């Protein structure tokens, strides 16, 4: 696993094999960052469920002003610190439960919020709802939600469909990425 673009391009990152850690595949990562390329420079980013820190580093590598990385796994926290050391950066890292952390961040606004929760959970839908309710997105901010292609996203978002706008959906094999904006009511 390596950084695929920006000033840290090509730097090899550490990873580990755990059932609950599933780094975003290079092909999907490339597609995501191609889609977001004009939105990243000087943006404020929240990387929820950050795992290895690869997505956080990819955002920093491409010019994000601020990236907050969040995870609740101590092994991930150690790995994220190791990966940030590889590029001589200090992570803005929060260890904690995603819903608690979102509540702590309620006075901040983000241009992009990246969600890559465990596929076997409903954490992504709960996070989207909380993000929208706490108004954590800037006016034209985007939630990037990576989930299993087997998830019935339309059914899952039924309870919040009046609060979000799905801008685009891209499928990369077994994963799907949704690009979502909040709707002003």
pLDDT in tens, 95-117: 999 999 999 999 999 999 999 99
CATH code of the domain covering residue 110: 3.40.50.150
- Residue 174 inside a domain? The answer is yes
Closest to 57 (Cα-Cα) out of 4, 111, 124: 4
Q: Cα 51 to the chain's mean position, in Å?
A: 10
- Residue 26 inside a domain? The answer is no
Q: What is the rounded CA–CA span in Å between residue 143 and residue 115?
A: 7
Percent share of the chain, pLDDT over 70: 91
- Residue 175 inside a domain? The answer is yes
Q: What is the rounded CA–CA span in Å between residue 67 and residue 155?
A: 31
- Residue 126 inside a domain? The answer is yes
- The encoded tokens of residue 79 equal 């790995």
| 157 pLDDT higher than 60 | yes
Domains in the chain: how many in total? 1
Span 155-164, average pLDDT:
74
Q: Roughly how many angstroms between the first and final C-alpha of the chain, as a whole number?
A: 41
* Cβ neighbour number for residue 116 with a 10 Å cutoff: 24
For 164, the domain range is 31-182
- Residue 108 inside a domain? The answer is yes
Max intra-chain CA distance, the chain: 44
pLDDT in tens, 116-148: 999 889 999 999 999 999 999 999 999 999 999
Confidence of residue 87 (pLDDT cuts 50, 70, 90): very high
The stretches of the chain forming alpha helices (DSSP H) are 26-36, 54-61, 74-86, 98-104, 123-134, 153-156
- Residue 24 inside a domain? The answer is no
pLDDT in tens, 32-84: 999 999 999 999 999 999 999 999 999 999 999 999 999 999 999 999 999 99
- Residue 39 inside a domain? The answer is yes
- Residue 49 inside a domain? The answer is yes
């Amino acid at each position: 696993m390596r950084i695929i673009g920006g000033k840290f391009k090509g730097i090899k990152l550490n990873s580990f094999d755990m059932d609950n850690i599933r780094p975003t595949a290079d092909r999907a990562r490339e597609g995501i960052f191609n889609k977001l390329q004009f939105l990243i420079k000087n943006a404020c980013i929240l990387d929820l469920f950050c795992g290895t820190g690869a997505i956080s580093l990819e955002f920093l590598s491409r010019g994000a002003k601020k990236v907050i990385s969040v995870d609740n796994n101590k092994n991930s926290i150690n790995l994220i610190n190791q990966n940030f050391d590889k590029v001589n950066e200090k992570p803005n890292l929060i260890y904690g439960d995603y819903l608690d952390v979102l509540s702590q961040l309620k006075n901040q606004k983000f241009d992009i919020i990246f969600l890559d929760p465990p596929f076997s959970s409903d954490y992504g839908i709960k996070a989207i709802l909380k993000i929208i309710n706490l108004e954590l997105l800037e006016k034209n901010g985007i939630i990037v939600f990576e989930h299993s292609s087997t998830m019935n996203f339309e059914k899952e978002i039924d309870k919040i469909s009046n609060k979000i706008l799905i801008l685009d959906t891209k499928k990369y094999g077994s994963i799907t990425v949704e690009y979502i904006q909040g709707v002003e009511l």
